[in-house]
């Protein structure tokens, strides 16, 4: 394996890691949007309550 192919492999691996991290972050945002839509349809927004508000 020569130096150029090693560098390309490294760049490919770094790109794959970046894409995976971006996908994970995007999944969190999609989950939060889905949670907001669910709570809106139920007419309650417990997402915004602190621990004391959740206990009540």
Contact criterion met (CB below 8 Å) for 46 and 36: no
Residue 17 has pLDDT above 80, yes or no: yes
Using alpha carbons only, how large is the chain's radius of gyration in Å? 21
How many helices and strands, by DSSP H and E, does the chain display? 2, 0
* 22 phi, psi to nearest 5 deg: -65, -40
Question: For residues 56 and 53, what is the distance between their CA atoms, to the nearest angstrom?
Answer: 5
Contact criterion met (CB below 8 Å) for 47 and 35: yes
The average confidence (pLDDT) of the chain is 88
Residue 1 has pLDDT above 70, yes or no: no
Please report the pLDDT score of residue 54 as a whole number: 65
């Amino acid at each position: 394996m020569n130096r150029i192919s090693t560098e390309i492999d490294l760049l490919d691996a770094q790109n794959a890691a970046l894409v995976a991290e971006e996908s994970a972050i995007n999944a969190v945002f999609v989950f939060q949007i889905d949670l907001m839509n669910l709570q809106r349809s139920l007419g309650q927004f417990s997402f915004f309550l602190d621990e004391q508000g959740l206990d009540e």
